[in-house]
Structure 1
């Protein structure tokens, strides 16, 4: 297994966790695409930006929802 594949697999919780399947959302903002964590109500840290396209591909393949609208709760 390549180093890049191992790095991508470290994000598997974003697409493999059936118990909190809709915790994660792919959020399209005005200028970028982010992984949003509904539990913490903020974008998730995906670390190495070079891995983001593959992480997003796997999330889409797993059926993680996508939105252009803010997917979180109102900030207080």
Structure 2
């Protein structure tokens, strides 16, 4: 996957649990887990906004792009 979701990193930096983030954002633990584990196909901008508000961060702190070729030796 080319888009990496770094929610775990921000949760650790903010010393916040997944449960607390789930409650603050209003997203189920199951959906947050799907997003956190990189299995999500999409994210609503309103959800991203709520996550950023709860974690006091920018979207770029959570989302990262890596090309598929970066991990391959040429």
Greater percentage in helix: 2
TM range (shorter): under 0.3
In terms of fraction of residues, the more strand-rich structure is 1
TM-score, structure 1 as length reference: 0.27
